[in-house]
Amino acid sequence: MVSGETGASEEPPGQDWDGVALPPGSVLAKHRFRLEGIRCSVVISVFRTAAGDGFYGVTSHYIRLPSAFAPYIPSDYWFDSPDAAFSTLETGIRNQYEGAVRDGHKPDESWLVHRLDYQRKVLGDLYPES
């Protein structure tokens, strides 16, 4: 597996999670990682909660394995720290990936489903345009 990179976001520059509180909704930090055999990177973005008392994290992609009906969507989004968000969200995706490889599946680009594309499809199916 390719190792990940963690760092403060470029939006806004120079902020870290132990320092100044950012406006709600601002990207606080990002972590990028790749899975062996898949060129696309997964990016985890961490934001400060509106109340300023925690953090929430989202992944750029979900992972949908050949044997799965739907992609794996993390159930945890709220964290005590950005590091906890990075660790939990990356581990969830890696565990799914490693299980599929152990079951004999060959990694494929199609395993990664962009989060926003999937959400648009689901919402589009639930609320079709008139």
pLDDT of residue 112: 95
Q: How many domains does the chain have?
A: 1
Question: What type of residue is 14?
Answer: G
> Helix or strand or coil: residue 95?
helix
C-beta atoms surrounding 47 within 10 Å: 22
Within the chain, where are the H helices? 82-102, 115-126
Domain that holds residue 90: 2-126
Helix (H, G, I), strand (E, B) or coil at 124: helix
More confident call, 18 vs 29: 29
| Per-residue pLDDT tens over the stretch 71-89 | 998 877 889 999 999 999 9
Q: Which residues pair with 6 in a beta bridge?
A: 31
Confidence of residue 16 (pLDDT cuts 50, 70, 90): very low
- The confidence band for 13, taking pLDDT boundaries of 50, 70 and 90, is very low
User: How far is 89 from 51, CA to CA, in rounded Å?
Assistant: 22
